[in-house]
Structure 1
Amino acid sequence: MIVSSEFTPTEMMTIAASRALTNDDVCFVGIGAPSAACNVARLTHAPDITLIYESGTIGTRPDVLPLSIGDGELCDTAQFTVSVPEMFRYWLQGGRITTGFLGGAQIDRFANLNTTVVGEYDHPKVRLPGGGGAPEIASNCGQIFITMALTNRGFVDHLDFITSMGHGEGGDHRARLGMKTKGPSRVITDLCILEPDPVTKELTVVSIHQGVSRKQIQDNCGWPIKFATDLIETPAPTDTELLVLRDINARTKKAHEAA
């Protein structure tokens, strides 16, 4: 029997992220941690959520987590599949997606994401996978949730390249650029949950996971991180949430090992 006090930081992050979703969401799902969180939500408290992947699969209900947006599991379990141009032009740019779930290699204090390069663009220290559809997702979904482990390498004071717009320079920067969507409204990490300040849009810790100290969070962030005055402790995962997450991870591992 699972004891709900026994869980890993990654499990806490995934489950905390899943709780942000509701039955009414139409969610554009990223591969990796976002996909795990969205499918835990579907298998627990939000069975009617509509999950959409970049390859054009709509209403997908995978039995195992996909390796990529081109994984056949997504098309096999979707209500229907459309072309990628239709996905982006009609569904995404048409304002029909309530929530986008993204991850990234780096993030700054205003929730801008970098998945392109570290260092100078022409002579980078690290060449990252690139943006794919993330820039359009960040701009056109009603709101954005981000899942990333909190580390000094990932949470940086300055981005060498902004792949996906968060809140830009802060404040009303999105509105000044003509963007009508909310942008990042929550960043879920393995140590805490952050939300943008209502005015400045700087990411602020609003919830700390069980057993985590403020110093741990400060030591793992590349800027002087701020804490909300009404800070709370993130509720621990329930037995049901852990069972569902571990079950889908076990099925995924078995399926991919057999491939």
Structure 2
Amino acid sequence: MSEAGTYTSNEMMTIAAARALSNDDVCFVGIGAPSAACNVARLTHAPDITLIYESGTIGTKPDVLPLSIGDGELCDTAVTTVAVPEMFRYWLQGGRITIGFLGAAQLDRFGNINTTVIGDYDHPKTRLPGGGGAPEIATSSGEIYITMVQSRRGMVDKIDFFTSFGHGDGGDHRQRLGIETKGPTLLITDLAIWKPDPESKEFTVVSMHPGVTRDKVQETCGWPVKFADAMDETPPPTELELTTLRDLKARTDAAHKGAKSPA
């Protein structure tokens, strides 16, 4: 497939995240950037991927991106919808989810996520949406993918609150707590692709997106960044990937504004 022309860093992030998914995955999808990535994957190279949302929709194939887990588009296009307790107990905690795809307000180098508060818990500077089902997704999914835009405010040395457990203090922290799943195995940002070091579990940059420098990655990260010895450059979006994403976003914008979706 031919390379596309001009694209944004957010588009590169979404497409790079979509590429990480396969036809065989059963993916627990977070709202926002994870939802966009999962549906681009479904509309391109992974048409048989099973997408599951927290409201209990299984095998959903939305034509537009949902505003929330309660969006009717998810139920209308799902193979089936189950009760939330069944979703968590049978599907998630039963070990049937291969990938949990999450976003983050704050993230540390070990993949621990904060979506609860910024600042002191009792007197926060900002009250965030909260964990929802993310804490359970983070511990019960086979592995976790995270996507977020890089900034020093978001990628911090120490998160203000542990909402979703990643690798804790690093190393074998998950195993010592009796958590048998892999935890965060991939971080896709608007600048780079990161994977945890096999031993320390600290996220390490393995690929930078086209035109991105090491200095730029470090400037937008709140901890000293480690780069892999063998660095790759992320392949730019193809015309198909970019068109699919943009068409999806256009349909979504039109639907949420109450306008007729483009043909």
Tell me the TM-score normalised to structure 2 length: 0.97
CA deviation map 1:150-208 (0-9, x unaligned): 11010000111110000000000000000010000000000001110000000100000
Structure 1 residue 210: deviation in Å?
Answer: 0.2
1:83 paired residue number? 83
* Structure 2 unpaired stretches of 5+: none
For residues 67 and 120 of structure 1, what CA distance do their matches in structure 2 show?
29
Q: Distance in 2 between matches of 1:119 and 1:258?
A: 38
**Identity percentage of aligned residues:** 72
Q: Secondary structure at the match of 1:27?
A: strand
Contact 2:26 2:97 in 1 (8 A): yes
The aligned residue for residue 24 of structure 2 is 24
Task: Give the corresponding residue for 1:131.
Answer: 131
Whole-angstrom CA distance in 2 between matches of 1:3 and 1:257: 32
The answer as to 2:8 corresponding to 1:8 is: yes
1:30-179 aligned at under 5 Å gives the runs 30-179=30-179
How many residue pairs are counted as aligned between the two chains?
258
| Cα separation, 2, equivalents of 1:175 and 1:235 | 35
CA–CA separation in structure 2 for the residues paired with 1:104 and 1:155: 9
Cα displacement (A) at 1:5:
3.4
Conserved 8 A contact 2:116-2:128: yes
Which residue is equivalent to 2:221? 221
Task: Tell me what 1:248 maps to.
Answer: 248
SS at match of 2:224: coil
CA distance in 2, matches of 1:213, 1:159: 25
- TM-score normalized with structure 1 length: 0.98
**Contact 1:5/1:236 (CA < 8 Å) preserved in 2?**
no
Structure 1 runs, 4 residues or longer, greater than 6 Å off: none
Aligned CA distance change for structure 1 residues 214 and 108 (closer, same or farther; 3 Å): same
Distance 1:62 1:5 in 2: 27
Q: Which amino acid aligns with 1:100?
A: G
The 8 Å contact of residues 115 and 131 in structure 1, kept in 2 or not, is answered as: yes
Matching residue's letter, 2:112: N
Counterpart secondary structure, 1:195 = strand
The residue that corresponds to 1:196 in the other structure is 196
Contact 2:54 2:84 (8 Å CA) reproduced: yes
For residue 60 of structure 1, what is the amino acid of its counterpart?
A: T
